[in-house]
Amino acid sequence: MKEGSARDRPREKLHQVGADALGDAELLAVIIGHGTADEPALTVAGRVLGTVGGVHGLTRVGRDDLMQTPGIGAAVAARILAAVEIGRRTLMVSPAERPRFLNTREAALFLLPQYGAYPVERFGVALLDARYRLIRTRLLSSGARDRSLAHPREVFREAALAGASAIIAFHNHPSGDPTPSEEDVALTRRLVRAGEVMGIDVIDHVILADTRFCSLKLAGAI
């Protein structure tokens, strides 16, 4: 990126006016660092964003997906994925805090930054004490791009080990659409029945997708 003024080059622009003045492609270009012999990093960044569907799409792709774009090798793909994960972690509550979930929205807003956007479907559980304070979260399975398996046995084993009084199950939809499937509803009802046997309340099953979520409780499955 030798042509143009310093303000037209993402790295120099960041130094002069701050990161918040950069567009999505410019920020990604800073992470990429260098383009190809024929194209500057900004052009490569724009092509990546166009391929994945914008900056939010970066949360749903893996290394191999990124490397389909000319100019993105293994090292650059790793930098992009690391930057995305850093962004997720800045939105997480400090481990020293124990949030209390009095409704589904509070739980979903806590879970979304860390678990809401991934390239594969992942299923987990938030383990709560008798006052609905978070003990810890646990990921129990990670599946293919379109499905993830979970069994009540694993869910309530984790709950029992943690001494949990209640749980909130959650999983993400890589498609970005949180609408529950028939399988999601069936799993939720199995979890509720198992919880009744175990004496552990299933507060909700939340489907996460980017910045949106769906409560199976509000959908009538619980």
- The pLDDT value recorded for residue 2 is 45
3-state class (DSSP) for residue 150: coil
One domain, residues 109 and 211: yes
One domain, residues 81 and 35: yes
State the 10-residue block means of pLDDT for the chain, 222 residues long: 55 85 90 87 90 86 89 91 84 70 92 88 95 94 67 92 96 92 92 95 94 90 78
CATH (domain of 178): 3.40.140.10
- The pLDDT value recorded for residue 222 is 79
User: Quick check: is 1 in a domain?
Assistant: no
- The pLDDT value recorded for residue 5 is 47
- The pLDDT value recorded for residue 148 is 56
One domain, residues 50 and 111: no
One domain, residues 138 and 76: no
One domain, residues 79 and 112: no
- The pLDDT value recorded for residue 151 is 85
One domain, residues 81 and 118: no
Q: Using the Cα atoms of residue 152, residue 154, residue 158 and residue 163 in order, give the sign of their dihedral.
A: positive
One domain, residues 113 and 198: yes
Domain stops at, among 64, 90, 116:
90
Indicate the angle between helix axes 152-162 and 182-198, nearest 10 degrees: 40
One domain, residues 113 and 157: yes
User: Quick check: is 96 in a domain?
Assistant: no
One domain, residues 124 and 178: yes
One domain, residues 32 and 74: yes
Structure tokens at 221: 């499955």
CATH (domain of 33): 1.10.150
- Asked whether the beta carbons of 41 and 1 are under 8 A apart, the reply is yes
CB-side exposure of 73: number of CA atoms within 13 Å?
A: 5
Host domain of residue 128 = 104-215
One domain, residues 80 and 117: no
Phi, psi angles (nearest 5°) of residue 2: -95, -15
One domain, residues 57 and 139: no
Domain count, the chain: 2
- The pLDDT value recorded for residue 37 is 82
